[in-house]
Amino acid sequence: MLLTLCISIPFAQAQSTSQTFSIQGKVTEGKSNEPLPGVSVLLKGTNQGTTSDTEGRYSIEVTKGAVLVFSFIGYSSKEITITNQTTIDIALSTDEQLLSEVTVTALGIKREKKALGYAVSDVGSENIANNGETNPIASIAGKVAGVNISSTTAGPTGSSRVVIRGIRELQGSNQPLYVIDGVPAVNGNIGSASQWGGFDLGDGLSDINPNDIESISVLKGSAAAALYGSRALNGVILITTKNGKANKGIGVEFNSSFTLDQISTRMDARQKTYGQGNDGIFPTDPLQARNITSNWGPRFEDFETITQADGTVRPYRYMDDNIQGFFRTGKTFMNTLAVSGGKDGNTARLSYSNITNEDIVPKSGYDKNIIAIRATSKITEKLSVDTKINYALEQVRNRPALTDEVTNIGNGLLGLAANFDQAWLQDYMNPDGTYKNYTGNIYRANPYWTLNKTFNRSSKERTGGYINLTYKLNHLFSLNLQAGTDFFSFTHENFYDKYTPAYDGGALNQLSMNTKETNFQGLLNFNKDLSSTLKLSAMLGANLMKYRSKGNNISGTQIIEPGTANLVNFSEKLIQPFDNRKEIQSVFASAQLSYKEFLFLNLQGRNDWASTLPPQNNSFFYPSADVSFVLSDAFQISSPVLSFAKLRTSLGQVGSDFDPYKTTFAYSLTGRTIRGYPMGEILGGSIPNAQLKPQIKTSFEVGADVRLFQDRIGIDLTYYDEVTNDVLLDITVPETTGFNTASLNAAKLRNRGVELLLTTTPVRLDNGFQWDLSLNFAKNVNKVVELSDLLETFTVAEARWAGATIIAEKGKPFGTIKGNGFLRDENGNRVFNSSNGEPLPTTQPISLGNTLPNWTGGVITSVSYKGFQIKAAIDIRMGGDIFSMSNMTMHMNGSHANTEAGRDSWNEYQQERQAAQRAAQQAGQEANVDDPTSPYYVDRANRGYIGVGVNQEGDVNNIAISPAAYWQSIGNNIPEPFIYDASYIKLRDLGLNYTFSSNLLKKTPFKTVTLGVIGRNLWIIHKNTPNIDPESNYNNGNGQGFEYGSLPGRRRYGFNLIVKF
């Protein structure tokens, strides 16, 4: 059959010369319906053909039975057999495999992926923008193997934490270096909450408009990031933004989305049977109601009404919406207008974005405006310039307080009894303006007082940009010079009016800071074909980085006139200035050898001189080498099964210095005065160490890239082994030294793991129907190999309650959760106190879990057909533990469903006791309800909660106790039952788009119109944490695995419109 076809086609062509006729049509891009200029339209088997013009139109002479082949770089080719058509319009679909052949590497250098001896993961704009997420980094969660991304419960104003291939700093951020268009960006978390409270003040990456991003590339290993030297310990994330493109005229794009936010997590394990009270008895007057707010009261069906703290008699019943009703439906408007164009080597793009957000927390939200301008110009045949400037202004209203902060709304609502409606709290103030106390806890503010009598606000202005000049010296050498800067000014103000619980005199805290990083860089590039089979590319460069962050923390206490948030209105003030400076001078070089385009050797090296290191240790060299061997090209494999095969391996080193002023004494002002003169102090509380060395990570990596069935299936597998030496620790020292800690290079960590990326197109039909599927998997094994002899363990984080800690311990993985567990005998039975029946804790803290996941993964799938596209992304984390202090609190106050056991019998016992005491009082006799010989004796046996286990003598425990006493004794001492598996499977993204066909838009000014329905974090498919989101964290430091007072998770859904002119 194939032979017949090969013969018949040329025969038919030869025979039908006299039947030649003209065919015309238009070629468009499959997803956007935009015209595709420059598409090759070729008569198959001949050299006859044409190309599409700037509007995508073409015309060609054909004969009946001929085959037209439409092809364009980066797109899948299409073949059409001619019958009787005179018009053929074709939509070409992008070939994701072809587009991924080139990637951005260190210093912004674009290289063929087949030449790389290390793994690089790319995420395109289609997986970053138009999904309802305003933070571009949060958008890639679950989409890159080996990259773990998390956020706090602060919501849209919070920061993101990114960890690549495991933990390698015990007290550092473990965050990667971010480089935007070749310029390093400042992305440190400006401020975060601790176990005692605080706010998440956001990060720098949220200042980038997702619609301005072309792609994100992740450099994971040391060889991939070696050219960044001492800044690349935790990997590098390269962000490439959009630029103008050569078009006929000016292109205009308008991108608009409107989304709604609603609560995604609810109290799914809350008891609905019992209400307010103690020992089955509820309060009977306002004073009791104020002091008794827990859920240890009687059954709801036993009583009809209850007197509350304000004296109002209200129904005694379960309030189904007593927490969720406080929150509102959030709204986010995001609009971007971009104008771009280009001609004759000159391109430009200008974009303006506005984001307006109202959070689910009333009176919380933000406004953001972003302007970005980028232009390129080929000034002469030898000189070209690329320049960009961007400006962002963000103003945030009332970031949610977190953890143990008195104004944490999550904690304030968590303590409500099941019969208490949050709406009753709206009566929050007495007539004289003082705080109306609804609870006896002075460290929990009424959420409505928080909304109306406290506030916080912040403003951030960010300006950045660069100018990049490239001059071609001759056919061998080119020179590249770049200067870039990233600057932001930030202010934050936090006000507590007079009478606020824990701030009775009022308080005002102000933070102001200016941070700037500037980079100057020069590169000399060399390219030469040494022979017909051997090619050399080399580069020599230098970089100078200057960093400074300066500002003040100012606090005022004892307000003079309530309600006025101005420092002059406070009688006591404290000013604490800070000024951090840093400089790194660097030289670097690289050389790439290519043999017959199938064997590639890449050598790189960088030497850094860092100002934060002591003079004798401030010079460090970071080398790397990698090899890529393309088997399919080397052995000229031509197979319908195997399309491509490559082996790769690499070895390299990168490092990290540390914050300023750790090697010598530095001095500052305290903000206090003596007789009007300012007091000085030694800056920081750590003993300086002039022998400190940078942290050094050595990485080995090996991998394979295989593609099958004409690239319909792709498999990318990586194994890595990384060791980080001289890990910096601040070790606690005796107070008699006058310091808190001493800085030492005191640990060694190892990370080993595998990463797998599977890409496939299971279905691709000639009618345009296509199904694409991508799966990624990563498993990392972490181990603390060495720890200073001065330490048995190193405490990474401490929980607010129950004495739990997260530690690093030699020979074990980072992130062990330690605390008291249940004391058990040799048979594993829990041991109870022989006198009161309460469970006993272990005599020493034990390991209760680990915060690191066993493995992570993700799924991206899309189906497209004739303008329609449905796309979904799933994020998976399996393993890892979390200590939920919210669930602990619910157990202690009787709100959790687990606390129902033993209540009825215990409440009955208490009611009988009360009845007996009343009878004795009426008879004028002594009650003696616990004396078996008394006529008023009430038998307690088997009434209450009986813990399963043995007593201290080894006999079966048979002491029944109050369920409240049981759970409160555990909550105060034993965190073990509140350690939960933090595994989850989440539907991160879901979108349905329709791009209108070009025929429908012929009589409109629009090139393309795409209308979509979008969703973000719509569904937690699987979780094991009751009442909370398993991702609930209150900061983005290394203390992941502690949760307390979390706000509900948020799901987002809405509409998106993209119009191009």
**Mean of the pLDDT values across residues 252-271?**
94
Report DSSP state, residue 285. S
| Residue 784 three-state SS | strand
Question: Length of the chain in residues, anyone?
Answer: 1061
CA distance 139 to 600: 34
Residue found by looking up tokens 């005179």 in the block: 86
Q: How distant, in Å, are the alpha carbons of 37, 139, 922 from that of 1001?
A: 18, 32, 92
* Domain 2-94 classification at class level: mainly beta
Give the pLDDT score at 95. 64
Q: At residue 130, what is the residue type?
A: N
**Mean of the pLDDT values across residues 264-293?**
91
**Mean of the pLDDT values across residues 839-856?**
97
Q: What is the Cα 26 distance to its own chain's centre?
A: 43
CA distance 528 to 536: 5
**Mean of the pLDDT values across residues 597-607?**
96
CA distance 27 to 15: 29
CA distance 392 to 181: 17
CA distance 883 to 888: 9
Report DSSP state, residue 197. B
Give the pLDDT score at 1. 36
- Please check whether the two domains, 2-94 and 180-262+329-407+445-815+851-880+982-1060, share a CATH topology: no
pTM more than 0.85: yes
Give the pLDDT score at 2. 33
Task: List, for residues 538-591, the tens digit of each pLDDT value.
Answer: 999 999 999 999 999 999 999 999 999 999 999 999 998 999 999 999 999 999
Give the pLDDT score at 379. 92
CA distance 291 to 507: 26
Confidence of residue 499 (pLDDT cuts 50, 70, 90): very high
Q: Is the pLDDT of residue 415 over 50?
A: yes
Confidence of residue 624 (pLDDT cuts 50, 70, 90): very high
Radius of gyration of the chain (CA): 33
Give the pLDDT score at 645. 95
CA distance 120 to 131: 24
Give the pLDDT score at 4. 37
Confidence of residue 48 (pLDDT cuts 50, 70, 90): confident
The tokens of 646 are what? 């490559």
Instruction: Quote the percentage of the chain above a pLDDT of 90.
Output: 73
- Among 10-14, 203-207, 379-383, 1012-1016, the range scoring the smallest mean pLDDT is 10-14
Q: Is the pLDDT of residue 531 over 70?
A: yes
Give the pLDDT score at 699. 97
Hey, where are the domains in the chain?
2-94, 180-262+329-407+445-815+851-880+982-1060, 904-940
Task: List, for residues 917-965, the tens digit of each pLDDT value.
Answer: 999 999 999 989 999 999 999 999 899 999 999 999 999 999 999 999 9
Could you tell me where the beta strands, DSSP code E, fall in 140-189? 147-151, 160-164, 177-180, 183-185
Task: Tell me the torsion sign for CA atoms 696, 1042, 787, 751.
Answer: negative
CA distance 453 to 199: 17
Report DSSP state, residue 270. B
1045: nearest Cα among 801, 702, 861, 878: 801
Confidence of residue 29 (pLDDT cuts 50, 70, 90): confident
| Residue 705 three-state SS | strand
The tokens of 997 are what? 């066909």
Q: Is the pLDDT of residue 865 over 80?
A: yes
1047: nearest Cα among 480, 554, 413: 413
Task: List, for residues 518-528, the tens digit of each pLDDT value.
Answer: 999 999 999 99
CA distance 985 to 877: 6
Q: Is the pLDDT of residue 101 over 80?
A: no
**Mean of the pLDDT values across residues 532-543?**
95
- Among 17-31, 474-488, 988-1002, the range scoring the smallest mean pLDDT is 17-31
Task: List, for residues 53-73, the tens digit of each pLDDT value.
Answer: 767 889 998 888 888 898 886
Q: How would CATH label the architecture of 180-262+329-407+445-815+851-880+982-1060? A: Beta Barrel (2.40)
CA distance 859 to 983: 16
Give the pLDDT score at 327. 95
Q: How distant, in Å, are the alpha carbons of 170, 197, 665, 727, 736 from that of 740?
A: 18, 21, 14, 19, 9
Task: Tell me the torsion sign for CA atoms 123, 125, 127, 131.
Answer: positive
**Mean of the pLDDT values across residues 144-154?**
93
**Mean of the pLDDT values across residues 784-803?**
94
User: How many CB atoms sit inside 10 A of residue 285's CB?
Assistant: 11
Nearby residues of 159 by Cβ (< 8 Å), 6 or more positions away: 151, 152, 189, 192, 200, 201, 202, 203, 206, 1036
Confidence of residue 184 (pLDDT cuts 50, 70, 90): very high
Q: Is the pLDDT of residue 13 over 50?
A: no
pLDDT, mean over the chain: 91
> CA 209, 1007, 996 angle in degrees (round to 5)?
90
Report DSSP state, residue 997. P
- Among 32-36, 158-162, 374-378, 987-991, the range scoring the smallest mean pLDDT is 32-36
| Residue 885 three-state SS | helix
Give the pLDDT score at 413. 93
- Among 159-168, 245-254, 834-843, the range scoring the smallest mean pLDDT is 245-254
Give the pLDDT score at 565. 95
Instruction: Quote the percentage of the chain above a pLDDT of 70.
Output: 96
CA distance 686 to 684: 6
Give the pLDDT score at 9. 34
- Among 335-344, 733-742, 955-964, the range scoring the smallest mean pLDDT is 733-742
C-beta separation of 1061 from 1005 below 8 A: yes
Could you tell me where the beta strands, DSSP code E, fall in 815-867? 816-819, 831-832, 846-850, 855-865
